[in-house]
Amino acid sequence: MRASGNLARRFHGLCRTDRGRDNDGMTLDIMVVLVLLLTAMILFAVEWFSVDVVTWLLLAALVLTGVLTPGEAFSGFASEIIVVLGSVFVISGALVKTGVMDWLARLVQRWTRGRESRLTATIMSISAFASAFFSNTSATALLMPATRKAALATRIAPGRLLMPLAYASILGGSCTLIGTSTNMAGSSLMASLGLQPFGVFEFTLAAGAVAIAGVLYMVTLGRHLIPQREKHELVDDYGIPDFLSQLLIPDGSPAIGQALGRLRLSEKDITPVAILRGRQRLKPHGLRKLQGGDLILVRAPRDALLRFQDASDFQIESPAVERPADLSIAEAVLTPQSRLIGQSLKQLDFYRVFGLTVLAIFRRGHAYPKKIDNLPLKVGDVLLLEGATADLERLQGDRDLWGLMAIEPRQTTHRQGLWAVAALGAAVAASALGVLPMAIAFLLAALALVLGRAITPEQAYQFVEWRLIVLIGGMTSFGLAMQKTGAADLLATSLVDWTQPLGVYATLASLSVLAVVLTQPMSNAAAVLVLLPVALAAAEVMAVDPRSVAVLVTLSASLSFITPLEPASLLVYGPGKYHFRDFMIAGLPLTVISIALLLLLVPLLWPLQG
């Protein structure tokens, strides 16, 4: 380990530039890098642009200012971790498609009986285990329907269980290299700086202990800090009347030949949902000409429907409050990778694309039951949808709009599911035992799933989160720029000087806390890529093993519990009907416990003096 540190130190000396050096060791290149770092952090936090666009702009700026050559700027994409990450996305997608995660969801339903504490422990254990081997965001989304169903079956508010579910997925993802992009981002940067990358199970003991402590905390103290909010039906949550009916246009009706919009149903508190014409289900847009025999599915208060009892234009076919058999109401959430973000329902032509009607949008504790067509969609928005059950079921596992309704498991064969599990197991074993390089092992596993027809090549490309690939590859190169210019050394020296009177552990604690702070507004992967170069330089200043410090910072960057901005927490934010402060109240003690455990365990498992 010490040899690696000396190699990095020699690398700094060769690459440091003397352009414009002042008395404090500041150079023009350092100033450029620090300004770009601050700019990137602000842009990541405010989300004016997507993370991939910010990353490309950052790389372009580094090349245009002469800080990096084009080859250096794009060297981060040549890392084997990029291949591993892309392959893991494909394997995770195959596990979802083949129904393996549905099987885990059924385990939740089967084992979650009894008291709330037992429910919490069971759900968190399954979530943590699943997240250790593929995306914690996907694990949270897939287990949400079963968790909600278990909560309702035991008469517990779903919000009591959804936050523990998300927290467990974050904790479990840290236990292996492939469980979270944060660990892989750290490993990629380590390799790019000439240090040994992390192993598949290198984090398991330390992160596993933190995960167990997290489960115990949520089962005991933590669950009492989650607010107890009354359960409601979906339509009650959104303030929408729970009355659906069918208006028949009889022969001879004055409405025949008129455009639906000219009837001004909205002025009568009636909202058309769809038009049934024979076997056709038509979009109820305002220009649709009506024909005799058309059935207009509407949503309206009882009083508004009763006003049509004696009308000559329509006949109420189903005045009862029960919905027609082919219609259902369900929720769906926009994932962080959704292509719908930033677009309005009108721009998307939502009904044409999904065949579903959006009744309302729930966002950060506020409902939007009306005038939502022009509302730009955001990450974590929960859409209340109405449509045919088959159309709603197709949203289960959709990467743009993830359905939250509990449905029957997909019709897949046991052979496909076993093939996906076997491919993942073989890749993990081969890389952990050193039989094959990690990149080759996971690439072969992904190819085996395509060749075995568990997924198609087109689906494999769809499963890859390309924005995250760009973020990790680009920010790895930015870490190189921080090392090359000496910006990392400058920041590290300042940090050590501030904390030196309190000792090495004070510096380690400050690095851990700084990682936690950065990961709240930024993505976890971006936070570790920004801070890790500083941490490695600080390790050299303190003359301690850089690997110990790197592990501490990497694991700390995943402790995103005090805000709902982490993707897994965003997924449960709307369905759990949480407020922003709920995560602060429940997540702050968990964060303190996790940091304390890491400060205790990391120096024991990775000695500071190697």
CA pair distance 174, 205, nearest whole angstrom: 10
User: What's the pLDDT at 498?
Assistant: 86
Domain boundary among 352, 370, 403: 403
**224 and 262 housed in the same domain:** no
User: What's the pLDDT at 402?
Assistant: 74
**432 and 351 housed in the same domain:** no
Phi, psi at 483, each rounded to 5°: -75, -45
**303 and 272 housed in the same domain:** yes
**154 and 200 housed in the same domain:** yes
**295 and 358 housed in the same domain:** no
Longest dimension (CA), the chain: 92
In a domain, 557, yes or no: no
Sign of CA dihedral 584, 162, 471, 1: positive
Question: Is the CB of residue 226 less than 8 Å from the CB of residue 590?
Answer: no
**185 and 257 housed in the same domain:** no
Identify which of 78, 567, 522 has the alpha carbon closest to the alpha carbon of residue 334.
567
130: containing domain: 83-232+411-463
Residue range 470-486, pLDDT digits in tens: 877 887 788 788 878 88
In a domain, 518, yes or no: no
Residue type, 387: G
In a domain, 582, yes or no: no
Number of domains in the chain: 3
**397 and 259 housed in the same domain:** no
Domain boundary among 270, 293, 316: 316
Phi, psi at 272, each rounded to 5°: -65, 140
In a domain, 332, yes or no: yes
User: What's the pLDDT at 586?
Assistant: 93
Classify each residue of 264-273 as buried b or exposed e, where b means 16 or more C-beta atoms within 10 Å of its C-beta: ebeeeebbbb
Q: Which two tokens stand for residue 418?
A: 């076993």
112 Rama sector, left if φ>0, alpha if ψ -120 to 50, beta otherwise:
beta
**177 and 105 housed in the same domain:** yes
In a domain, 308, yes or no: yes
- Those residues of the chain that have pLDDT short of 50 are 1-23, 242, 318-324, 406-412
User: What's the pLDDT at 605?
Assistant: 94
Measured N-to-C along each axis, helices 136-153 and 80-97 cross at an angle, to the nearest 10 degrees, of 30
CA pair distance 89, 296, nearest whole angstrom: 43
DSSP 289: B
Cα atoms in the Cβ-side hemisphere of radius 13 Å centred on 253: 22
Residue range 187-208, pLDDT digits in tens: 888 888 888 889 889 999 999 9
In a domain, 147, yes or no: yes
**247 and 206 housed in the same domain:** no
In a domain, 498, yes or no: no
**159 and 210 housed in the same domain:** yes
**308 and 261 housed in the same domain:** yes
Which residues are CB-neighbours of 366 under 8 A, at least 6 positions away? Answer: none
**189 and 283 housed in the same domain:** no
Phi, psi at 25, each rounded to 5°: 85, 5
Identify which of 269, 398, 289 has the alpha carbon closest to the alpha carbon of residue 333.
398
In a domain, 382, yes or no: yes
CA pair distance 8, 532, nearest whole angstrom: 13
Domain boundary among 403, 426, 445: 403
β partners of residue 327: 388
Q: Residue 346 maps to which CATH number? A: 3.30.70.1450
